[in-house]
Amino acid sequence: MEQGEENLERLLKWATEIGVSDSAISQQGSSLSCLGQSLSISYFPDAGGRGLGAARDIRRGELILKVPKSALMTRASLLKDERLSVAIQGHSSLSPIQILTVGLLYEMEKGRSSWWSPYLMNLPHSYDILATFGEFEKQALQVDDAIWAAEKAILKAELDWKEANALMKELNLKHRLQTFRAWLWASATISSRTMHIPWDEAGCLCPVGDLFNYAAPGEEPSSFEDLELQAHASSFQATSSLHGDTTFMLDIEQLDACSERLTDGCFVEDIAAYCFYARKNYKKGEQVLLCYGTYTNLELLEHYGFSLDENPNEKVFIPLEPELNSYNSWSKESMYIHLSGKPSFALLCALRLWATRPNQRRSVAQFAYSGCQLSAENEIFVMRWISDKCNVVLKSLPTSFGEDCLILDAIAKMQGLHDPLELKNLLASSTGQLRSFVEVNGLQNGEGGAKLRSSWKVKQTMERWRLAVQWRVNYKKILVNCITHCAEITDSLSCQKKSPELNIA
Ligand X SMILES: C[S@@+](CC[C@H](N)C(=O)[O-])C[C@H]1O[C@@H](n2cnc3c(N)ncnc32)[C@H](O)[C@@H]1O
Note whether 305 binds ligand X by CB under 6 A.
yes
Task: Return the number of other C-beta atoms located less than 10 Å from residue 257's C-beta.
Answer: 15
Shortest reach from residue 35's CB to ligand X, in Å: 14
Give the integer Cα–Cα distance in Å for 100 and 204: 9
Give the integer Cα–Cα distance in Å for 453 and 462: 11
Whole-number Cα distances in Å, 226 to 116, 217, 219, 241, 347: 33, 11, 13, 22, 27
Shortest reach from residue 300's CB to ligand X, in Å: 8
Q: Identify which of 462, 456, 413, 464 has the alpha carbon closest to the alpha carbon of residue 437.
A: 462
Using a 10 angstrom Cβ sphere, with 0-12 exposed, 13-18 middle and 19 or more buried, the burial of residue 127 is buried
Candidate segments 102-110, 205-213, 344-352, 364-372, binder of ligand X by CB under 6 A: 205-213
Strands in 273-277's sheet, in edge-to-edge order, are 63-68, 273-277, 265-268
Note whether 138 binds ligand X by CB under 6 A.
no
Give the integer Cα–Cα distance in Å for 411 and 401: 15
Shortest reach from residue 301's CB to ligand X, in Å: 10
Contacting residues for 390 by C-beta, under 8 A, at least 6 apart = 318, 337, 479, 480, 482, 483, 486
Amino acid in position 381: F
Site string for ligand X, 213-242 (x = CB under 6 A): xx----------------------------
Shortest reach from residue 122's CB to ligand X, in Å: 8
Q: Specify whether the CB–CB gap between 318 and 389 falls below 8 A.
A: yes
Decide whether 466 or 485 has the Cβ nearer to ligand X: 466
Note whether 47 binds ligand X by CB under 6 A.
yes
Note whether 196 binds ligand X by CB under 6 A.
no
Q: Which of 306, 330, 354, 471 binds ligand X (CB under 6 A)?
A: 306
- What's the 3-state SS for 309-371? CCCCCCCECCCCCHHHHHHCCCCHHHCCECCCCCECHHHHHHHHHHCCCHHHHHHHHHHHHCC
Candidate segments 204-212, 275-283, 387-395, 475-483, binder of ligand X by CB under 6 A: 204-212
Shortest reach from residue 307's CB to ligand X, in Å: 8
Shortest reach from residue 47's CB to ligand X, in Å: 5
- Restricted to residues 392-451, the positions that interact with ligand X (CB under 6 A) are none
Q: Which of 14, 16, 37, 51 binds ligand X (CB under 6 A)?
A: 51
Decide whether 11 or 493 has the Cβ nearer to ligand X: 11
Shortest reach from residue 343's CB to ligand X, in Å: 27
Q: Which of 50, 91, 342, 384 binds ligand X (CB under 6 A)?
A: 50
List the beta strands (DSSP E) in 5-75. Answer: 39-44, 49-54, 63-68
Decide whether 46 or 323 has the Cβ nearer to ligand X: 46
Shortest reach from residue 192's CB to ligand X, in Å: 3
Decide whether 124 or 312 has the Cβ nearer to ligand X: 124
Q: Which residues bind ligand X (CB under 6 A)?
A: 47-51, 124, 192-193, 210-214, 304-306
